[in-house]
Amino acid sequence: MSELQDVAAEMGMPRFAAKQMAQWMYRKHVENIDEMTNLSKAAREQLATRYEVGAGRPLEVLTSVDGTEKYLFQTDGGQFVETVYIPDGERHTLCVSTQVGCKMNCLFCQTGKQGFHGNLTATDMLRQIGWAMRERGLTNIVLMGQGEPFDNLDEVMRTLHVLTSEEGYGWSPRRITVSTVGLRKNLQRFLDESECHLAISLHSPIHEQRLQLMPAERQFAIADVVELLRHYDFAHQRRLSFEYIVFRGVNDTPSHANALLRLLRGLDCRVNLIRFHRIPEVDLEGANDVEMTAFRDYLTSHGLFTTIRASRGEDIMAACGLLSTKRMERDAEQAQQ
């Protein structure tokens, strides 16, 4: 809201015009300034000389056989990101990207193979969200697309503020989940300043193995992340979950299950088991349904609430770990030559 107040002041408009603009953008999803009919015609004309509004539209929409949709958006900087819409009965979830590519370079993730090409602005993130809100209707948002949200925390927090403030979309933070590998300093800031749900990418409870899968373990060890989490209350409305891709013969043994139980003992949390989707040049294999069910049942029987997340959108490369806009970036570079 403070930014809109600055715009109003810059344009010589009354202070309350900032709230009017916010309502048009975040509640009514207008696509151009001229639709803001409670602003004077002169004010609208003046605004239009400096600014544009509207959620924007994806450059491409792909639809999976299971109803999942993947959207390609162009950023203000001329790069590309992918966003995934997952309808499931009355639940409509949008998986939002926060960076172009990613620095974390997790072994099992296609986005990491793309490399890092820049942070998204709050505007870039809200462009993904606003279009889906208007065109599809949403019940939940997860910041689990391309990138590491806590490596771009300032813009992520601006986005969350617009989503949850009364001047913005007015969403409950309980409808939003933010995922991270565990960047400790920014994780602590997020926990102190936001009430949104938190998901930690875990994937192995054993330091040496997690380091092989996730280079971020060297600087942000999962044991240290969990120790920080023990200082916060997850026993009430805010939910803490751990994401765990199950690799056959790698992290699905009884010793891994017992290490998970020891690591997370006493935390109010859940574990989400995720199927691995193969990517080129990575020698990992996903566990099958029987193996994943056995792993889940063992953890649950020992008091750790565990679920198996349904795999969606694999046929359009929209499933967990498959997002990448490397091809689009290459095509854009070739077009400029």
Considering the chain, what percentage of its residues have pLDDT values greater than 70? Answer: 96
Mean per-residue pLDDT, 160-165:
96
pLDDT band at 162 (very low <50, low <70, confident <90, very high): very high
Q: Is the pLDDT of residue 195 over 90?
A: yes
- What per-residue confidence (pLDDT) applies to 48? 78
Mean per-residue pLDDT, 219-238:
95
Helix (H) / strand (E) containing 326: helix 326-336
Mean per-residue pLDDT, 22-47:
81
Backbone φ and ψ for 99, nearest 5 degrees, come out as -145, 160
Catalytically active residues are 82, 320
Q: Is the pLDDT of residue 337 over 60?
A: no
What is the DSSP code string of 258-277? HHHHHHHTT---EEEEEE--
- What per-residue confidence (pLDDT) applies to 300? 98
Q: Which residues sit opposite 198 in a β-bridge? A: 178, 240
Mean per-residue pLDDT, 266-295:
94
Mean per-residue pLDDT, 138-146:
97
CA distances from 170 to 126, 128, 143 (A): 14, 17, 18
Place of tokens 């009017």: 20
pTM of the model: 0.90
pLDDT band at 8 (very low <50, low <70, confident <90, very high): confident
Please give the Cα distance from 179 to 193 (Å, whole number). 16
The bridge status of strand 140-143 relative to strand 91-95 is parallel
Please give the Cα distance from 217 to 214 (Å, whole number). 6
Helices (H), 178-317: 184-193, 207-213, 222-229, 254-264, 289-301
Please give the Cα distance from 140 to 95 (Å, whole number). 9
pLDDT band at 85 (very low <50, low <70, confident <90, very high): very high
CB count, 10 Å around CB of 307? 14
Q: Is the pLDDT of residue 336 over 70?
A: no
Q: Is the pLDDT of residue 291 over 60?
A: yes
Helix (H) / strand (E) containing 226: helix 222-229
| Residue-averaged pLDDT of the chain | 91
Mean per-residue pLDDT, 232-253:
95
Residue 294, C-beta contacts closer than 8 angstroms, at least 6 positions apart? none
- What per-residue confidence (pLDDT) applies to 215? 97
Token couple for 300: 């649950």
pLDDT in tens, 56-69: 789 999 999 999 99
SS3 breakdown of the chain: % helix, strand, coil, rounded to 5? 40, 20, 40
pLDDT band at 22 (very low <50, low <70, confident <90, very high): confident
